[in-house]
Amino acid sequence: MFFQEGPPDTSGYMIAGYVIFFVISAIYLLSLAIRRRNLERDLEALESMRAESRRSGRSAGVSPSKEGSARRAPTRRRQVRKKVTRK
């Protein structure tokens, strides 16, 4: 009497879900490809700038007196805060 109709047909929603999923996945993959291409271009530009600065005899943007210190990797120091306890 009440349950003689059967379940509703939701195959359209399932197909729409798969289509949306694949479209979003394709957009994401395209975004990753574009980012990689831009990263490779930036890397090539940096390498050419580095080679040009080596040909000129010094590091780009660094004075000759500070050239040796510029080659070292910068270090970050963590600031440690003391806990204040009240009595």
Q: What is the pTM of this model?
A: 0.53
d(CA 15, CA 4): 26
d(CA 56, CA 49): 11
Q: Where are the beta strands (DSSP E) in the chain?
A: none
- 78 lies in some domain: no
- 32 lies in some domain: yes
Range(s) of the domain holding residue 50: 26-55
pLDDT at residue 4, rounded to an integer: 78
Overall domain count for the chain:
1
Identify residue 56 by its one-letter amino acid code: S
d(CA 19, CA 35): 24
Query: 5-64, pLDDT tens digit by residue?
Result: 888 899 999 999 999 999 999 999 999 999 999 999 999 999 999 999 999 886 555 555
- 14 lies in some domain: no
Task: Measure Cα distances from 49 to 11, 39, 58, 62, 65 in Å.
Answer: 57, 15, 12, 14, 20
